[in-house]
């Protein structure tokens, strides 16, 4: 589930995405019974058929979304994926899917995850990419000397050395600090690393 703005929510099921408008809610008086508010999706997308079911989700988003957005999805086999939607209004663009093994930490624009989690890993590799972009002419990109938004299909890799089974992963995008809790020889360990 991804809340896109105060008025919209994106839900994911196996190979399917649903965009809903969040209905206006009213307070319930003390002792009152809450009621079910029915909602129909504004748009849905089924990856198993060639055409979107209704209109495309990325064309039905709030007006203030002009870059690429992401959500977590699951494949038919239960594989967790970070899925980046196409740009708004560009039906020819493709989805970007990054497979991961249960642990992910998402910042405001970039994400980092464990792709393969095993009891003992000689060299654990964390992978990351951009998952949310602004339009190409965004002033922040121009200040960095970029003429385009980052490509969400590009993956960067961080080698963190020999670790055991990862139990938790956290990443602060602003400071660049990664925190990994892992189990090795029946003891929990904490690894802190700074991305520079």
The whole model's pTM is what? 0.74
Both 49 and 125 in one domain: the answer is no
- Which residue has 């002792």 as its token pair? 31
Answer yes or no: are the C-beta atoms of 34 and 45 closer than 8 Å.
no
Q: Is 184 a member of any domain? A: yes
Both 56 and 121 in one domain: the answer is no
Q: Is 133 a member of any domain? A: yes
Cα–Cα distance list, 122 to 64, 86, 113, 143 (Å): 45, 36, 17, 40
Q: Among 57, 88, 119, which residue terminates a domain?
A: 88
Both 45 and 117 in one domain: the answer is no
Stretch 162-171: mean pLDDT: 86
- Which residue has 């602003």 as its token pair? 174
Question: Quick check: helix, strand or coil at residue 140?
Answer: helix
Judge whether residue 104 has pLDDT over 70: yes
**How many CB atoms neighbour CB 80 within 10 A?**
17
Check residue 15 and give left, alpha or beta (phi > 0: left; psi -120 to 50: alpha): left
Both 123 and 168 in one domain: the answer is yes
Q: What stretch of H or E contains 73?
A: strand 70-74
**How confident is the model over 132-141, as pLDDT tens digits?**
888 888 888 8
Domain residue limits at 158: 101-196
The count of structural domains within the chain is 2
| Token digits of residue 16 | 């399917």
């Amino acid at each position: 589930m991804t809340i896109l703005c105060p008025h919209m929510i994106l839900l994911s099921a196996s190979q399917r995405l649903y965009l809903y408008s969040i209905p206006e809610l009213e307070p319930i008086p003390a002792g009152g019974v809450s009621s079910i508010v029915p909602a129909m999706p504004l748009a849905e997308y089924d990856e198993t058929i060639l055409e979107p079911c209704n209109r495309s989700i990325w064309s039905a988003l709030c007006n203030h979304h002009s870059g690429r957005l992401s959500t977590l999805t699951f494949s038919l086999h239960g594989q967790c994926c970070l899925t980046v939607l196409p740009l708004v209004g560009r039906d020819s663009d493709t989805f970007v899917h990054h497979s991961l093994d249960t642990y992910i930490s998402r910042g405001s624009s970039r994400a980092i995850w464990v792709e393969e989690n095993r009891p003992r890993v000689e060299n654990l590799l964390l992978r990351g990419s951009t998952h949310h972009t602004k339009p190409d002419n965004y002033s922040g990109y121009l200040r960095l000397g970029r003429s385009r938004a980052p490509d969400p299909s590009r993956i960067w890799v961080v080698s963190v050395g020999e670790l055991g089974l990862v139990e938790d992963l956290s990443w602060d995008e602003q400071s660049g600090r990664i925190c990994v809790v892992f189990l090795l020889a029946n003891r929990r360990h904490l690894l802190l690393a700074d991305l520079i």
